[in-house]
Structure 1
């Protein structure tokens, strides 16, 4: 006798209909980051699949488990493509699919479009880091990058700080102007699109480098980091100078094991050359959020937060989405067996 197993399929439109708010997303991410700091999560560093496609992009495979989600915890796997030229086809550069499982018996519970998850969880992680590591009175946000996670980065930071100016740029003028226009539709904070990264970062309190480079190029220069600044470089390809860490009072990562893994990441050269090591690292963000280590202690501290994207964030947001979808009976039930 075959026991029937059904799972819920949630497409992008289903997830959009749930109307998740920024506060909901930031809260879910903050909770799971604290759980990570307490040792209540399991995850493996991401792996990469690089097809023979002429260098147009690659896939990231992320796997994670969180003890505290639901009655029995939740496990999940996300596969996300990273294809920078996708804009030429009218597609997001990152398209993702997530599957979540019952960790006690391996039964698949849901399959969902994880493109939104990928966008908002990165912005939420930037926001959580800023909540604990940036100056509370930060006034100027400088952001390089206009696609993918950029909108969530800026809007979530804007929701947490008394910003007086947002500066944005990207490689293509039409992209940065469209991004600025989109931001002006949702915020009263003045938004200015500028031509260069130097203009974006000049005198900024919060500096976010989220570029989509094809080869290393120093967009975020060490000299731009003033006392009291909070710096978030997380582009796939490095856009910072090698001496950036020399001026930092504290360097925080999402997970040190994740920071050491893979071929990509904005501080890959710093890890590979020993400029960033377990000894020079101040903390993992979970240690700060869970209260084991203090975050910002002085206004003049320069603090850098490097987050590569933990799978447990995807699992936490998948749980939030699935819980809301079940309550609203949203999605399509599919027979698995």
Structure 2
């Protein structure tokens, strides 16, 4: 009997947070990677399982999300990946991000692990890029005022990526803690010439805005985003883990778009969880998945007065796509640390 081939060893690449930062991946590259994988999803060229949650016995300090996905259009024969991301709101007291994440990438042809990557940046950047891709297809091209609620986690990527796509006249930001919103505004002013205004509450940030992004970090549901704040023609993106959306918000929406309808129906959390559970948002009232819009199979914005809402829960395939972008850049730069797997 012929012996199986002997391998000298299997190595994988570990990329720390500083390693990823030094690669200099641009917002434009991340938006492009996310838009391509959204289009691939619309073509049925991705595979992913519904996210699952691990809720430790920790007195409500936080929980873990586990995301699993595969993208057939990446690399020579696709890339598979698993990301674990914590959602720990009180982490600011420790000087840490509320969302700390790790992703592992695999070769789907043989199961060999290829990389372990600090995915904290990936989580922030791919979420902001998804907001930007949605706005590119669903917001008015002449949008001038951005209102953003929430100052941590993905907030910085949300605002800066939208700012890169639109000729904004004003960015309004707010959050629950005054010191948090002031620090957020300071960071934004360092990287943009667009005027940044800090508001005292969500209503002031959203009222009359062209693009409204709700990324609050609530611990209990509260109707901070309601129909009275959404003017005709507005593009609305609510995605807080705990809902800040009023039950009647969808009554004024002309179109509701999601990243994936199956994902929207799964899990315990999400901005429109109540609307799905009560039937307010259903397969009949849903306009489209974003992949169908990006791929041209369903219309996006058709009228300047349409109110359009995008609910994206965060697809694992986005993490895989951005992770692969980072890995390829790291391989070319010989960055990171090679670890012996076996």
Which of the five TM-score ranges fits, normalised by the shorter chain? over 0.9
What is residue 81 of structure 1 aligned with on the other side? Answer: 86
The within-5 A match list for 1:159-308 is: 159-308=164-313
Give the drift of 1:327. 0.3
What is residue 124 of structure 2 aligned with on the other side? Answer: 119
- Report if aligned partners of 1:222, 1:240 keep a CA contact under 8 Å in 2: no
For residues 145-180 of structure 1, the C-alpha deviation after alignment (integer angstroms, 9 at most, x for no partner) is 000000000000000011000000000000000000
Distance in 2, matches of 1:162 and 1:209, equals: 20
Match of 1:157 among 135, 139, 162: 162
TM-score (norm 2): 0.98
Following TM superposition, where does structure 1 have runs of at least 4 consecutive aligned residues deviating by more than 3 angstroms?
A: none
- Report if aligned partners of 2:226, 2:248 keep a CA contact under 8 Å in 1: no
Give the drift of 1:72. 1.2
Give the drift of 1:2. 5.6
Give the drift of 1:222. 1.3
What is residue 105 of structure 2 aligned with on the other side? Answer: 100
Distance in 2, matches of 1:83 and 1:284, equals: 29
Distance in 2, matches of 1:286 and 1:2, equals: 41
The alignment partner of 1:39 has SS state of: coil
What is residue 3 of structure 2 aligned with on the other side? Answer: none
Distance in 1, matches of 2:143 and 2:14, equals: 41
Match of 1:15 among 16, 20, 23: 20
Distance in 1, matches of 2:335 and 2:119, equals: 16
Distance in 1, matches of 2:226 and 2:286, equals: 21
Distance in 2, matches of 1:228 and 1:90, equals: 39
The within-5 A match list for 1:51-90 is: 51-90=56-95
What is residue 319 of structure 1 aligned with on the other side? Answer: 324
The alignment partner of 1:124 has SS state of: helix
For residues 158-217 of structure 1, the C-alpha deviation after alignment (integer angstroms, 9 at most, x for no partner) is 000110000000000000000001100100000001110010011100000000000001
Distance in 1, matches of 2:303 and 2:233, equals: 8
Distance in 2, matches of 1:224 and 1:288, equals: 26
RMSD: 0.6
Distance in 1, matches of 2:7 and 2:323, equals: 28
- Report if aligned partners of 1:15, 1:321 keep a CA contact under 8 Å in 2: yes
For residues 75-124 of structure 1, the C-alpha deviation after alignment (integer angstroms, 9 at most, x for no partner) is 00000000000000111000000000000100000001000000000000
The alignment partner of 2:100 has SS state of: strand
Match of 1:41 among 22, 46, 55: 46
- Report if aligned partners of 1:4, 1:336 keep a CA contact under 8 Å in 2: yes
Distance in 2, matches of 1:225 and 1:201, equals: 7
Aligned length: 337
Q: Structure 2 unaligned runs (5+)?
A: 1-5
Distance in 1, matches of 2:167 and 2:7, equals: 58
The within-5 A match list for 1:318-337 is: 318-337=323-342
